Structure 1
Amino acid sequence: MIGDDIILPCHLEPAVDAVDLTVDWSRTDLKPRSVYVRREGVELLTEQNSLYTGRTSLSVNKLQCGDVSLKLSTVQLSDAGTYKCLVPKFNAETVVTLAVGSVSSPVIELTNVKNEMVLECKSNGWYPEPQMLWVDSEGKPISVEPTKNVRGSDGLYTVSSKVTVEKGQSYSFTCDLFMVQSNTAVHIIINLAVCLISFGTVVILIWKCGQKKTGKFKLHSTFYPNVKLSSDLFNVLF
């Protein structure tokens, strides 16, 4: 995810001491292509692409065991791509593909319009482009205004969708945001179930996505009872 520190794996087999060897990490789609170079125990950063300044390193302790994996700090969207790890002495190389993603919590906004109420689900800071779906209490898709997906100057997406309901009735909706990266089999969902009660009370059940240390995802739930509508415009931020 954007902002994380990650390890791009690369190992010599059989394991040999690589402290004094040349290790070259690069991306052929960049100019200059150099991401990180270490030669005879010395970092050579003069030709390093400026995108990686101050964000790359190797572990000397791990080098002693033939582990030439690259640590990349504070991952950026521009870091997505294919990296090549090369140890010239053994003519050993490997290729690592890095996919970068970003998710964020949503905002629920309720607006009174005459005899109707407009419920908008909105979230920004997503990559790749997410999908949004409104469903009823039985999990069936409901008819809503077209979803708006806008990509900002930072490359991240803002997605929003509205559903309009009549006042004086009870409803139960779920706004699903999901992103599927087929190449990594990651499926991320944030659900917000909103029940609009006829006497003006809003009950919100939130399912938020959290990350386990294993890299897989699990769902956590939080319940907020009896949130009152205090004005024509009501925001709930998570």
Structure 2
Amino acid sequence: QIQVVCSDRPIITLVGDDVILPCRLDPATSADSMTVNWTRPGAASSPVVNRAEINSSSCTVVLQCESAGWYPEPELLWLDGEGKLLSAGPPETVRGPDDLYTVSSRVTVEKRHSNTFTCRVQQNNINQSRETRIDVPDDFFPTSSHPDLSPIPWNCKIKAWRL
């Protein structure tokens, strides 16, 4: 059986670019009448916002985003509805046995004029970016049961909400 043997080192290129693949056939055979299909396993996934929590003490919403299948290592950014960068903790990046990266991050958000938030994962070296936008319902943010009484704490309305 003939096998295509290639380098185990990553090959970085842009979609549509020409590239020379350092490969050989084993056992040595003429490839004049053959076609080699080059595929990229684990193509980067669009970010998935897979968790929403309510912090009842601060009446904030915690969102988590994850995206897998990246090479080289990507960066993850959170943006508000106006495209402004949100402050989030450092992302967690894990390199798998296939040398592809999975990146995840959590951000705590408060109610804004627009409750739209975007998780963007990008790899600038190869000009690749994926993003997912989520709209958080107003019901997930604080409302005061007695707005005239300042000592009354803010309460969070908790409703079933599915991402």
TM category (shorter chain) comes to 0.5 to 0.7
Unaligned segments of structure 1, at least 5 residues: 2-7, 11-25, 28-33, 37-44, 49-56, 61-69, 78-100, 201-228
Larger Rg: 1
Query: What SS does the corresponding residue of 2:138 show, helix, strand or coil?
Result: coil
- Runs of 4+ displaced beyond 4 Å: 167-170
User: 1:159 deviation in Å?
Assistant: 0.4
Give yes or no for the alignment of 1:72 onto 2:36.
yes
Give yes or no for the alignment of 1:58 onto 2:31.
yes
- Change in Cα spacing, 1:189 to 1:166, as seen in structure 2 (3 Å) is same
- Change in Cα spacing, 1:46 to 1:127, as seen in structure 2 (3 Å) is same
Tell me how far apart the structure 2 counterparts of residues 117 and 167 of structure 1 sit (CA, whole Å): 9
- Change in Cα spacing, 1:58 to 1:137, as seen in structure 2 (3 Å) is same
User: 1:166 deviation in Å?
Assistant: 3.7
Q: How does 1:67-216 map to 2 (within 5 A)?
A: 71-75=35-39, 102-108=43-49, 109-114=51-56, 115-166=59-110, 171-181=115-125, 186-200=126-140
Q: TM-score, normalised by structure 2?
A: 0.60
User: 1:197 deviation in Å?
Assistant: 2.3
Aligned counterpart, 2:6: none
Query: Relative contact order (alpha carbons < 8 A, sep ≥ 6): 1 or 2 greater?
Result: 2
Query: What SS does the corresponding residue of 1:150 show, helix, strand or coil?
Result: strand
User: 1:134 deviation in Å?
Assistant: 1.1
Cα deviation per residue 1:182-209 (whole Å; 9 max; x = unaligned)? xxxx422222222222124xxxxxxxxx
Tell me how far apart the structure 2 counterparts of residues 76 and 9 of structure 1 sit (CA, whole Å): 14
Higher strand share: 1
Tell me how far apart the structure 1 counterparts of residues 62 and 54 of structure 2 sit (CA, whole Å): 6
Give yes or no for the alignment of 1:230 onto 2:121.
no
Query: What SS does the corresponding residue of 2:139 show, helix, strand or coil?
Result: coil
User: 1:47 deviation in Å?
Assistant: 5.6
CA RMSD of aligned residues (A): 3.7
Aligned counterpart, 1:222: none
On the 8 A contact 1:169/1:197 being kept in 2, the answer is no
Unaligned segments of structure 2, at least 5 residues: 1-10, 12-17, 141-158
- Change in Cα spacing, 1:199 to 1:176, as seen in structure 2 (3 Å) is same
Tell me how far apart the structure 2 counterparts of residues 137 and 121 of structure 1 sit (CA, whole Å): 16
- Change in Cα spacing, 1:46 to 1:133, as seen in structure 2 (3 Å) is same
User: 1:127 deviation in Å?
Assistant: 1.5
